[in-house]
Structure 1
């Protein structure tokens, strides 16, 4: 998710649910459906795709709007507003994309190439300061210079050739670029409507215009529930399975379980002990995800270095966490310990097909003796008493995880104090963006299908103040020097992960999520995604009894 943000056991582990398939047999097509009752682990903050903040935003925005490409049930890219896959120049730097003429907004305006050009230029305009502008900055020609105030916004490498032809120029070849276009940052915006509502655009369901499968009703900022209604103006509305989906914000697994058993939820996320207890339940399902839980380590706070500027302290903490115990006994929801920033099953070697995690190996496994050695070195440099703040979100089991980490680390390291604060997700994410924290236990799902989507969060200039010239150089080589040499690019990305996670302990990886849910047997078509929005809603539905 800046990352904030992607793929969760609770965070995403929750927003239920999805599917992006469209090939159904005739009997399924003719089945009557009932309104779906789903849950979100935290509030929806905005319908403005430019200011998307978290998983609920990504999921709802992907339901209400549509970009050039979407994901099918196998995480493969398929045309959406685009009528076909892009035409890519021989050097990999120019993409020409044709838009389908039947795509319209819910106010009957056509969806045009200008809508994409407008949205992307607004995204990179430095006066707006949008969180996800880095996705544009990292890929499109002149975006970095525009972001730095050195070039005009109109020089961005995107151009509407005509109403239904978009040309995109990249600063260098990006093998993953098409997958980036499935992320809400790159969705279109209707300039007329955005300017009509001004600062109020996207703050409520009726101050927005839609081009996706659903419209959003009965929602305004701070509301804890909302409805998705089938958008009859959507070009592919005949293949949208649900007429109505009702969402409620449910932050506690015990509450979700009670609501499910009472018939007030059709899909309920369960975690920890509740997940364990329900594994024999016929309604229990566990789905893999590319979301990881990790700890951000901030090296500068309010203009002053934090203790985490010290590499020995970072290594002590990273090596001192018994992930097997934490994940299997505390989280206990089917998630697995993770020993690297790139999750299992997310991306494979382009030549051999070997999974990245398998080829890169395990990094920073629990080692009590090594952890204590680094702790003693850290104390010599920082003093015998070290105090750190640990911020966690109030979704699901994060409080429990934070308290467990607090207990185990302060027990292991004599002289360490950890103060845990539990905050609403939006509040915590805003504090993290302002670098106002020491440690932050949070989740992350890749924005697009490439290791750089995750590794890029540690490139110099990030909000945790980690800066490593060697790591930056490796990422630059993978992005530029080896952009079209896939073997060397792959090896360079493996080296970059090792440099950031093991050699310098830039952040602490905890686990890879499994989505554990109780699911009404009438609910069909649930599919999770490993990048972009964690799940899509176009084809999910509930049959009548």
Structure 2
């Protein structure tokens, strides 16, 4: 955990570190990868075309991270290293000068320039472009103008191009963890050709990362996507294999069957049915380690019966009616840990003793009393259902939670499955879903703020329940404004006390990386964010 961060040391942190090992190769020499078959891995159909500006879910994110490169990237332990950045400098944590390495190109041979970053960031932030990742640019001066309805500016005043390899970023106030964010995909650049037809570009993008699409039509929707090494990439994540094939399985059980039979190289999430056996089945190839993954279910602010005083009582009752410890042991076989907050224990600043988190304890008697108090104020009608995607390992815990609600609260409660993650997200994004719905967060960058801001800040990019509390927002801003990392964590944890009062989502558990690989591959390492470092994997 970092100590107090004074202004004089911010410049050192902002450099994102540099990785002298792991090899920046000479184009096709390192970038060409090893000969042989592609590495096969499980995946899910991306929700949207492959644009960093509009991808905020894991299925698309794992592909985006491999076909694009940004200023920085994250090592397995969450440390930040330079990728395209040569330097990121500041003296006040508010005004940054960013220089990119010269000679970098897109996969079509055109140069990567500072303008490519500035144009992509402005495009993402502009309200009329309706991009899911716009929120990540809210600290930059001029964001409010491009987000006005209608916008009063087309570009953010805080972004200025100095020359082909240099641009400056001016924030509205100091942001001590701003450099930590720059490895996240929202901050990736786009080539000039993208803007000719962004939807078509997203189907077959020109990238600048360690991989590129194998060919036109390499994305077979709902089936698979095939990537090959990008010889134009000259950076620290050079592909050490001949390519990646992400297979979109309809169920994790089918993926596990392929893994154990040697027909799949890597599986990054075990199905419920394998949690008791995968470590014995896979031996040293099994992975069960903490990761920056938080699981919950969201209760939309507009959901009938869940607003006002009665709604607040019901939210508390629902939380207290969930036996998290038993579910983690019996259903997840110890690959989950009951939540004590809304972030993750692997993130610096985490606390398990936040005021109000006793609402996460299992107390069926108090739960029943609170529900009856709510009934006296406003009777609840219908069923309290929890929507989930059936192509992920969710049915087991949803069935257990809803059974507990039926028994403890005496209400109707069921799971509501959607065939695919994309189908569930479609209704969530359209705000047409009328039930609670499962919601998880796999961190974009290693900071408490990354869990809290996007999910619960007003207008947050993943605030799918439309929660808004000015006091909570103010504490987020105060935490982000300090360059003292301990003070920032204290303020962000104070903000969580408000979440435990309002309960916009019901915190459930932290998720381990429960994953594994087949005997067909070597050098498989899973990172802090639960994802394999695909570019390191080699065929056995």
Deviation at 1:215, TM superposition (A): 0.6
> Match for residue 518 of structure 1?
516
Q: 1:331, CA displacement in angstroms?
A: 2.9
Is residue 142 from structure 1 mapped to residue 142 from structure 2 by the alignment? Answer: yes
- Counterparts of 1:13-412 in structure 2, within 5 Å, are 22-23=21-22, 34-43=37-46, 45-84=48-87, 86-88=88-90, 90-137=91-138, 139-149=139-149, 151-191=152-192, 193-203=193-203, 205=204, 208-217=205-214, 218-220=217-219, 222-236=221-235, 239-268=238-267, 269-281=269-281, 282=283, 283-300=285-302, 305-309=304-308, 310-332=311-333, 334-348=335-349, 355-357=350-352, 363=358, 364-383=360-379, 385-412=381-408
Please give the alpha-carbon distance, in whole angstroms, between the structure 2 residues aligned to 1:133 and 1:173: 19
Does the aligned pair in 2 maintain the 1:291–1:443 contact within 8 Å?
Answer: yes
Q: Which residue of 2 aligns with 1:421?
A: 417
SS in 2 for 1:67: coil
Q: Does the Cα contact within 8 Å between 1:289 and 1:513 map onto a contact in 2?
A: yes
SS in 1 for 2:197: helix
Correspondence for 2:537 among 517, 534, 540: 540
Alpha-carbon shift at residue 389 of structure 1 (Å)? 3.1
Map 1:447-458 → 2, pairs under 5 A: 447-456=444-453, 457-458=455-456
CA distance in 2, matches of 1:33, 1:308: 57
- CA RMSD, 1 decimal: 2.6
Instruction: Indicate if the aligned counterparts of 1:35 and 1:243 stay in contact, CA closer than 8 A.
Output: yes
- The Cα of 1:333 is off from its aligned counterpart by 6.0
The answer to whether the Cα contact below 8 Å between 2:297 and 2:506 also exists between their aligned partners in 1 is: yes
The structure whose RCO (Cα within 8 Å, separation 6+) is larger is: 1
Deviations 1:103-147 (A, max 9, x none): 11111111000000110010011111111100112x211212321
For 2:479 and 2:77, the matched residues in 1 are separated by 26
Whether the 8 Å contact between 1:22 and 1:239 is mirrored in structure 2 is no
Show CA shifts across 1:270-306 (max 9, x none): 23231202322323222321111101110215xxx54
Report if aligned partners of 2:276, 2:333 keep a CA contact under 8 Å in 1.
Answer: yes
Deviation digits for residues 215-246 of structure 1, max 9, x if unmatched?
11243362411211011111138942112222
CA distance in 2: counterparts of 1:452 and 1:48, whole angstroms: 24
The Cα of 1:489 is off from its aligned counterpart by 2.8
Superposed displacement of residue 380, structure 1 = 1.1
Aligned match of 2:8: none
Match of 1:503 in 2: 501
Pair 1:478-2:479 in alignment: yes
Q: Deviations over 1:295-318 (max 9, x none)?
A: 1110215xxx54355100000001
Distance between the aligned counterparts of 1:358 and 1:280, measured in 2? Answer: 35
Q: How many residues align?
A: 500
Q: Distance in 1 between matches of 2:379 and 2:20?
A: 58
Give secondary structure in 2 for the equivalent of 1:56: helix
Structure-2 separation of matches of 1:237 and 1:433: 36
TM-score when scaled to structure 2? 0.86
**3-state SS of paired residue (1:62):** helix
CA contact (8 A) 2:109 2:232 kept: yes
Q: 1:75 to 1:476 in 2, by over 3 A?
A: closer
In 2, Cα distance between equivalents of 1:92 and 1:400: 46
Query: In 1, are the aligned partners of 2:335 and 2:512 still within 8 Å (CA)?
Result: yes
User: Is 1:21–1:72's contact at 8 Å kept on the other side of the alignment?
Assistant: no
Q: Could you list the runs of 5+ residues in structure 2 that have no partner in the other structure?
A: 1-18, 24-29
Q: CA deviation at 1:162?
A: 0.2
